[in-house]
Amino acid sequence: MSESEDRNAMLYLLAGVGIGALIGVAAGMLFAPKPGLETREELSEKLKELKEKTEQWVAEQKAKRQQVAKSEEASA
């Protein structure tokens, strides 16, 4: 297995764990004994937080890839 395939496998694993966690949290919140409006507001807030964290993570990964590409170009 190449280094690229290892990275892809790790990303898929992390994505799967993350999606599973999200589904678990959503299910727990939906079945919790709270009023519907409160639950929807809490879900909305959590989704906004998740979106921000995901966008931040994607930006960090892009920056890392650009940095690696620049260092590879410099060494070539």
What is the tens place of the pLDDT at every residue in 43-54? 888 889 988 998
Range of the domain at 68: 3-75
For residue 46, give both structure tokens: 């959590």
Cα–Cα dist 13/19, whole Å? 10
Q: Global pTM? A: 0.51
Rounded-to-integer distance, Cα 30 and Cα 22, Å: 12
Q: Which of 31-35, 65-69, 72-76 has the highest mean pLDDT?
A: 65-69
Greater confidence, 28 or 76?
A: 28
Mean pLDDT score, 6-11 = 79
Single out the residue of 17, 24, 16 nearest to residue 46, CA to CA: 24
Which candidate, 43, 48, 54, places its Cα nearest to that of 19? 54
Structural domains of the chain, count: 1
